[in-house]
Amino acid sequence: MYNQINPQKHPLFKKGLLTTPLLENNAAFLLRLLHYAGMPNFKGFEPWGPGKYGVCMTHDVDGPRLLTLFSMLRSFLFGSFRRDTYELSSFFHGLPALF
pLDDT value at residue 77: 92
Q: Examine the pLDDT at 38 and tell me if it is beyond 80.
A: yes
pLDDT value at residue 90: 84
pLDDT digits (tens, 9 = 90+) for 43-92: 767 788 887 877 776 766 655 555 678 888 888 999 999 988 888 888 88
Rounded CA-CA distance 81/57 in Å is 36
Rounded CA-CA distance 17/28 in Å is 17
7-19 mean pLDDT: 81
pTM of the model: 0.37
Rounded CA-CA distance 95/28 in Å is 46
Q: Examine the pLDDT at 97 and tell me if it is beyond 50.
A: yes
Per the model's pLDDT, the better-predicted residue between 5 and 86 turns out to be 86
